[in-house]
Structure formats: structure tokens, C-alpha cells
Amino acid sequence: MLFPPSCGGCGKLGVRWCSDCQQKLTPVPDPVCEICGEVQKTVGVCKECLNTRPAFYALRSCVVFKEPARPALHRLKYRREIGLGEALAWNLAVYLDELGWQADAVIPVPLSEQRFAERGYNQVDLIAHPLARLMGWKYFPGALRRTRHTRSQVGLGVGERRENVLGAFTTESHKVKGQTILLMDDVATTGATLDSASQALMDAGASRVYALTFAKAMQKYGSDYVKPLPARPLR
């Protein structure tokens, strides 16, 4: 009563995630590349993945990175909204059921030591941990580590993003060897970070890596290319 929660999308008092914002979420439209999940005009694998296949088996994103997903993820990133992370994890659990993916463990993309010291927490953990509990999968938040601090990916081109995170991750092989891993991040743009992290997991002996994010930044068509659709029901 003294400190009521507010909706991560619109700020409405009394709830972490209101029904209006739930209905306004925009699912990523089909068709998408079967590997990287980039929206395209035809079914199949995109030219980029045919030329250079990413280390992950497949990358998918639940919704488009636009309102109300954008402000919600910003609140997770800068205000440590634990309850909001749990609410958004429900959407991902429903989405995973639709994808039919099965994994042994969930691993969040880690921050560098410098970034973690500045922020005090990893925002991806706020979604990935409750998602692992919902799915009944193991959770290995420390199994993947950044070996060096990388500059922010914001504003970098595709090639610059790949170069920025190349070889930036290492992992504990005894935790991931022979395991199917669900690698989690908050937003996918080019997929460079997830590709580099997936490569570290595969090099350590993981049998397969699925990459999943809550939101997808639209690259080819812009966020206005897609329109809000009826949201998937929470289970």
C-alpha cells in the first residue's frame, strides 16, 4: 500500500505488468530465417546464415523491441525490477511451448566484471532465472563468463558488433559438456553476442545451443513494419 508497484510498460500503479501492455506486445512476424530468426520475405535460411552459419542451432525472439517491451526492458536494465522479470518470463515460457524446444539448462549472457560492478546485477538474470524455474530446467548463471570488457554494441554496424565480441566468452566445460543449452539475452539485434557466446559453449562440449531473447530489434524493415497482434495467453 505504501510503495505500490507500477507497470513496466506504461507506469500504471498497482501491477508489475498490466493487461493493456500485455495485449500491446507485438510478436515477431513470420516468416523468419530458420537459423538466426531475422524477419524475411520467404521461408527458409537467409543468405547470411548460408554463407556463415552461427554457432547456435537457432535464435528466436518472443516480441518486437518496441513499446511496451522497450520501456519494460529498460526498467529491468536500470531499475532491477525483479517482479517485472518474473512477469515477462511467463510470456517466454508460453513461447517456448510453441517452439517445442527442450533444453537441459538455461544460461544468461553474462556482463563483464566492469559492467557488473557498475550496475550491481545482470538484467538478463531477472528473466532467465524465473524462466528456468517455469520450464523445470537447470540454471547455470556462472557457467559462462566474459573474458574481457567489450564496448556497448549500440551504434555499431554488423561487422563491428562481431569483431567487438569475438572471443569474449569462456565457459566451464564440466557444466555444459553434453548438455543442450538455452542461452538467454534480453534483446537480439544482429545476434553477434549470442553467436560468440554460443561458440564458447559449443567449444566446451555443449551438444546444442538454442538462443532466445525476449525482444527483437527489427533490422531490415524497422519496427513499424509489423503491427500489434493478439497477445499469446499467459498460462
- 164 versus 62: the higher-pLDDT residue is 62
Beta bridge partners of 228: none
| CATH classification of the domain holding 201 | 3.40.50.2020
Task: Provide the mean pLDDT of the chain.
Answer: 87
* End-to-end Cα, the chain, rounded Å: 27
**pLDDT at residue number 43:** 94
In a domain, 235, yes or no: no
How many domains does the chain divide into? 1
| Cα 200 versus chain centre, distance | 17
In a domain, 104, yes or no: yes
Residue 23 has pLDDT above 50, yes or no: yes
In a domain, 7, yes or no: no
What are the Cα distances from residue 48, in Å, to 6, 152, 160, 162? 41, 23, 16, 13
Q: Which of 5-19, 67-81, 127-141, 148-162 has the lowest mean pLDDT?
A: 148-162
What are the Cα distances from residue 212, in Å, to 16, 79, 120, 127, 182? 22, 22, 23, 11, 7
Mean pLDDT of 12-38: 95
Nearest to 204 by CA among 144, 141, 149: 144
Query: Which domain does 188 fall in, by range?
Result: 19-225
In a domain, 132, yes or no: yes
In a domain, 215, yes or no: yes
The string of pLDDT tens digits covering residues 44-73 is 999 999 999 999 999 999 999 999 999 999
The identity of residue 147, as a single letter, is T
The string of pLDDT tens digits covering residues 169-197 is 989 889 999 999 999 999 998 899 999 99
In a domain, 161, yes or no: yes
CB crowding 49-67: b at 16 or more within 10 Å, else e: beeeebbbbbbbbbbbbbb
The string of pLDDT tens digits covering residues 69-94 is 999 999 999 888 888 999 999 999 99
Residue 230 has pLDDT above 60, yes or no: no
Mean pLDDT of 196-206: 95
In a domain, 85, yes or no: yes
Beta carbons within 10 angstroms of residue 202's beta carbon: 18
pLDDT tier at 210, thresholds 50, 70, 90:
very high
Strands 169-171 and 180-188: unpaired
Spatial separation of the C-alpha atoms in residues 136 and 105, rounded to whole Å: 9
In a domain, 178, yes or no: yes
Mean pLDDT of 13-18: 94
